[in-house]
Amino acid sequence: MLTACKNQPENIFLQEWDTPYGTAPFSKISVDQYLPAFRAGIEEQKANIAAIIANTEAPSFENTILAYENASPILDKVQGVFFNLSESDSTPEMQAIEEEILPELTAAGNEILMNEDLFARVKAVYEASSTLTREQQMVVKKLYQAFERNGVGLDEAGKKRFAEISTRLSTLSQKFGQNLLNENNAFKAATGLTVSEYYDFMSSCDDRAKREQVFKAYAARGNNANADDNNAIVLEILKLRAEMARLLGYPNFAAFQLSNKMAGDPATVDNFLQPIMDAAMRKARQEKADMEKLAGHKIEAWDWSYYAEKVRAQKYALDESQTKPYFQADSVLKGVFTAAERIYDIRIEPAPEVEVYHPEVSAYKLSEPDGTLIGIFYRDYYVRPTKRGGAWMNNFRDQYMDGTTDVRPIIVNVCNYPAPGTDPTDAVPSLLTIDNVQTAFHEFGHALHGFLSKCHYRSVSGTSVARDFVEMFSQFNENFAFIPEILKEYANDYRSGEPIPAQLVEKIGKSLKFNQGFTTGELCAASILDMRWHELSLAELEAFNDPADIRAFEQKVCAEMGLIDEIIPRYRTTYFNHIFNSGYSAGYYSYLWSEVLAVDAWEKFEADGVFNKETAASFRSTFLEKGGSEEPMTLYHQFRGADPDPAALMRARGLE
């Protein structure tokens, strides 16, 4: 470690952080510290892994599995900071570091997970795991599967090729994300809009030609035959993933990805998605007819949001201009916090003593009623050119037990809301749409999953669960956004301070099921497109060679699923960041799959009383505290006493 950083004696990542709650001292971090710290961390990890292998004692949970979990303290620290900032406050310097270090990190990971001597020790513990606690069994199982899924059983040629593929994939995914960030900024330069403002603009712009221009620019991101074009990257990623799956004995990448998820296999996902798509399109055709009646002409894709807003105003006497003044970003955050405090009996307060990484970021402390620390929360809500699009939750530090010390998590929520006005004579705050409000509650649902974790081991704590389980808790938390008891605590007109009128609350409630043919359809279409790409075998993918092949495949898939011409998938292939750069490959269906669980759980809350303390305590102890320490459906049965009802999603979205 010292050798690796002998020219960096003041490298902050190699020191203990004497900061409040062990948070990162951002002002002391310079970009030139990252690479030396990464490399010192890799060397430390190698030495600790070698010590595990060299241990002459019989393999045990403590000397093998737990030792593995604790093998990389420097890497844990530097990765926790770097990869959060590379997404939320990226710069060309950060991008260059990421491009340089990702292959090294991937190679180091492959070296560990392909080490047959280390795997032999892990396997010995796995085969004797019946004497372990249930949480320890899940930790061992997860690690054992990681070795298997990383090619430890391949011959030397297979291991070599697997390592080459995984290294190349890490580089390609990072390049995809960089290109998309550049394309999003180019979209703003061309249209005057950030990507996060797209739907709001499309629902309010009276100029049809302008809507068409913006729609086509939005839908063409990553497909502009320029330096940031993602077509070639997409095809290479898909082919490499298919080859990786074939190496491991799977017919396609979807089969590989789903083998350790709740769904289990592609057929189960396909059979789950198509009925949803069918119901959504039945509803969408009705919505289209209503809009064309109002418009007096055939509508196109760039007309949908505009006329949908007109129909909503007509049906519910509601439009976003009425609701936005009540939903300023700071007050919505108050609502997010109030709901969590009331449901889970926790306390949330500003933490001005905690340093933040950007002036727009705020820090908060979560505590139990007796003052026991739950964790530290960063709120990073506003759009900026250095931030990738979308919204997400991530950990700077996971929750786990270090001996008898409960290490509490440090978590961030990142969104892309419009920034507040800076003109002191007309300082309009950041005003949110109804969808933005739901997103704020959604992402804090993920945060609560991380914060309320009470696990011993970081590999199963918090949100470290199956991809098609993790979205349950974020979607469940959305339900608190618009219930009257919570709205009255935060929804006040920013100009007058007047609370949101009861009749407007009622209108919002009724309108939430509006336009669900479109909303569900574009989400389900993206899910099916993701599955179809990853259900292709390597032999089938070899026929794809240029952007026209991608467009043709998209059109074919959309026709086969029954998507009407006036709707496109929420994400087209060249800007589908979830599946090419964010871990949702053959997994975007998870949002709908998890929604079934979330809605079914919410129906229990409604039946028992939304603020029933026993029900909330059961939800917290059964789900939020357990993380991945038990199988998802086992936990669900413990809470609900039955399988989730698939029809719950149709009821919630008004698609029955």
Which residues does the annotation mark as catalytic? 443
How far is it, in rounded angstroms, from Cα 578 to Cα 586? 10
Distances from the Cα of 257 to the Cαs of 23, 359, 413, 471, in angstroms?
34, 39, 27, 17
Q: How many CB atoms lie within 10 A of CB 4?
A: 19
Residue closest to 145 by CA, chosen among 45, 256, 247 = 256
Residue closest to 174 by CA, chosen among 650, 577, 631, 530 = 577
Q: Which two tokens stand for residue 390?
A: 């979308």
| Sequence-separated (6 or more) residues with CB below 8 Å from residue 202 | 211, 214, 215, 302, 304, 305, 306
Give the torsion through C-alpha atoms of 281, 282, 286, 287, to 10 deg: -30
How far is it, in rounded angstroms, from Cα 375 to Cα 402? 15
How far is it, in rounded angstroms, from Cα 99 to Cα 161? 21
- Strands 362-367 and 405-407: what pairing? unpaired
Distances from the Cα of 592 to the Cαs of 401, 520, 525, in angstroms?
33, 9, 11
Length of the chain: 656
- Strands 347-350 and 400-402: what pairing? unpaired
Q: What's the N-to-C CA distance of the chain in angstroms?
A: 61
Residue closest to 81 by CA, chosen among 486, 355, 359 = 355
* Cβ atoms of residues 217 and 194 within 8 Å: no
Distances from the Cα of 547 to the Cαs of 397, 573, 634, in angstroms?
40, 10, 45
Give, as one character, the DSSP assignment of residue 491.
-
Starting at the edge strand found earlier in the chain, the sheet holding 362-367 runs 347-350, 362-367, 373-382, 410-417, 392-397
Q: Which two tokens stand for residue 300?
A: 């196109």
Residue closest to 13 by CA, chosen among 90, 106, 95, 75 = 75
Q: Which two tokens stand for residue 218?
A: 């939005």
| Sequence-separated (6 or more) residues with CB below 8 Å from residue 580 | 173, 176, 230, 233, 234, 237
How far is it, in rounded angstroms, from Cα 618 to Cα 236? 46
* Cβ atoms of residues 187 and 195 within 8 Å: yes
